[in-house]
Amino acid sequence: MRFKSLLIALTIASSAFAQEKSLIAPGATLQKVSGQFTFTEGPAVNRKGDIYFTDQPNDKIWKYDTQGKLSLWMNKTGRSNGLYFDQKGNLIACADEKNELWSITPDKKVTVLMTDLEGKKLNGPNDLWIDPQGGIYFTDPYYQRDYWQRQKPEVEGQKLYYLPKGKKTPVVADDQLVKPNGIIGSADGKTLFVADIQGNKTYQYQINTDGSLSDRKLFVNQGSDGMTLDAEGNLYITGKGVFIYNAKGEKIQHIPVDEEWVGNVCFGGKDRNVLFITASKSVYTLPMQVRGQ
């Protein structure tokens, strides 16, 4: 009887292990694309599956296309950090140099979407997500930069904001966070995930029709620098590698990355089944069995 019970337990464990590993494509391993950067961040995918990302300290945006070609896309990016493509194909950037939000067209024409909050500089827009209506949710933690003249915040608190489409002034979406950072929303526009990196927690919200948030609840006791979702509703968060949680908030996998820090992650490629990882001085790819949302 004991042997039978042990056999059942091993079978269950083996099945769970196989299920856990099934997110990564069979035989796939982490592939280093390049290690020439200072600190990579903000990966964003366009409709073709090309991925754009920032080397924030060097003020550059790079492109990794669906053919595997890496190229410098833009210099002098306003110290862009987080990126996200809008429905028109413009690259929306958290321009950290002057704490603005930029819209960058495919031919690199820049429009400043937001400059301040009631005459005061924001802490430093860090990461963003755009809802189906074109509104922008962005996190605003304070990280002192050596290229700023100021030495302290101008606004009180580190908050989550929402910039309605066509507006110039953001509204506070949540002011009960210690230091918000990573952010992602569901493709249907109903759910938002936000990481409190200093509080070491990730929260889940319901998105209301007016862009306000409600029903905030703790999703997992872990913070994150960046995050993404796959088509099955699994949440990928970053830090010491990439951690994958299912929709119930259960950790189902950890992808180790041999770097000091993983800043962010997204899905790209023609079929959106390549996980792209920005990890400090390097960027990596990993073929998956799941697609990005």
17 confidence band (pLDDT: 50, 70, 90): very low
pLDDT tens digits, one per residue of 133-184: 999 999 999 999 999 999 999 999 999 999 999 999 999 999 999 999 999 9
Residue 99 lies in a domain: yes
pLDDT value of residue 13? 38
Between the alpha carbon of residue 141 and those of residues 101, 167, 177, 282, the distances in Å are: 14, 21, 10, 24
Residue 16 lies in a domain: no
Please report, for the domain that includes residue 63, its CATH number: 2.120.10.30
Instruction: State how many domains the chain has.
Output: 1
Residue 184 lies in a domain: yes
DSSP 249: S
In degrees, rounded to 5, the angle at the alpha carbon of residue 202 between the alpha carbons of residues 58 and 222 is 85
Residue 119 lies in a domain: yes
Residue 146 lies in a domain: yes
Distance between CA atoms of residues 283 and 278, nearest Å: 5
238-265: average pLDDT: 96
Residue 17 lies in a domain: no
* pTM, to two decimals: 0.92
4 confidence band (pLDDT: 50, 70, 90): very low
Residue 7 lies in a domain: no
Tokens coding 196: 């409190």
Residue 184 belongs to what domain range?
A: 30-287
Residue 185 lies in a domain: yes
